[in-house]
Amino acid sequence: MTVTDMFRLDGKVVVVTGASSGLGVAFAEAFAQAGADVVLGARRADRLAETARLVEAAGRKALVVQTDVSDPDSCTNIVALAVEELGHVDVLVNNAGIGTAVPSTRETPEQFRGVVDVNLHGCYWMAQACGRVMEPGSSIINISSVLGITTAGLPQAAYAASKAGLLGLTRDLAQQWTGRKGIRVNAIAPGFFDTEMTEQYPPGYLESREDRIPMSRKGDPAELAAAAVFLASPAGGYITGQTLVVDGGMTIT
Ligand SMILES: NC(=O)c1ccc[n+]([C@@H]2O[C@H](COP(=O)([O-])OP(=O)(O)OC[C@H]3O[C@@H](n4cnc5c(N)ncnc54)[C@H](OP(=O)(O)O)[C@@H]3O)[C@@H](O)[C@H]2O)c1
């Protein structure tokens, strides 16, 4: 195997949650380009169908499964359909997430729980469903955030707590499953990337953060997707339990 072959995922099946917009679309397209069939999960089926067309344009199969990751049965369902239709699940990209910014004195229990239910619990239900069927050599990638490691000026207790919790989940699943089941579990902590999530930020907020980023720019989703392909492929074969920060250097400042 040459070094470039080590980044290929030919014949693999990758489940991407949150594949209806933003980074999830970039993950789906990149994994298809690396040779994998892609199972696309999110609540908006019409938008998943658009992502499916990108996967098919890269010459791979796409399976659309309307999914709400906050519902454990919905997570079991997408994984069962993936196995039924495509035979196996080799990679899970736990990407579905919601972002909020609410001052903590005003945040309601429902608001806080709603974020944790999707960003942390949802990743766990998906990992459990995949962990039950994955064969040795498989891998799980949890999409955390730099907000799991540092602060960035907005009141984001629920989001930051959910993303920091995901780093603990990553470590624990890696120690449970890497040795016993041959499943590597890693996290990616993205910095700032233009998506529907960042459109909700106050005008000028993202630009005001660029002074803190040594690379002085937001990331390109393709740069993040390439990091995910690396972690999932044989190129990342000796990496488990780790968090790969893809932030243009923001967290060193
Ligand atoms: N953009 C950034 O700068 C940035 C930085 C750090 C981390 N992240 C993380 O990257 C991930 C992707 O975010 P994004 O920036 O691409 O935002 P986005 O465009 O808003 O995408 C979020 C995705 O999550 C899905 N989703 C939300 N709730 C869901 C649920 N209950 N069940 C299933 N899917 C659900 C959405 O699909 P439906 O609405 O169709 O369900 C959508 O596809 C998130 O985990 C986010 O926290 C993003």
pLDDT tens per residue across span 188-223: 999 999 999 999 999 999 889 999 999 999 999 999
Mutate to test the pocket of ligand 1, among 16, 17, 43 (most ligand atoms within 8 A of CB): 43
The one-letter amino acid at 240: T
Retrieve residue 55's tokens.
Answer: 């996967």
Q: Are 45 and 64 in contact (CB under 8 A)?
A: yes
220 contacts: CB under 8 Å, gap ≥ 6: 193
pLDDT tens figures, 157-198? 999 999 999 999 999 999 999 999 999 999 999 999 999 999
Which residue positions in the chain have pLDDT lower than 70? none
Domain architecture of the chain: domains with CATH: 5-252 (3.40.50.720)
Active site residues: 159
Q: What is the pLDDT of residue 61?
A: 99
Q: Are 15 and 31 in contact (CB under 8 A)?
A: no
The side-by-side arrangement of strands in the sheet containing 37-42 is 62-66, 37-42, 13-17, 91-94, 139-143, 184-190, 243-246
**Which residues line ligand 1 at a C-beta cut-off of 6 Å?**
17-18, 20-24, 42-44, 47, 67-70, 95-99, 118, 143, 145, 190, 192-193, 195-198
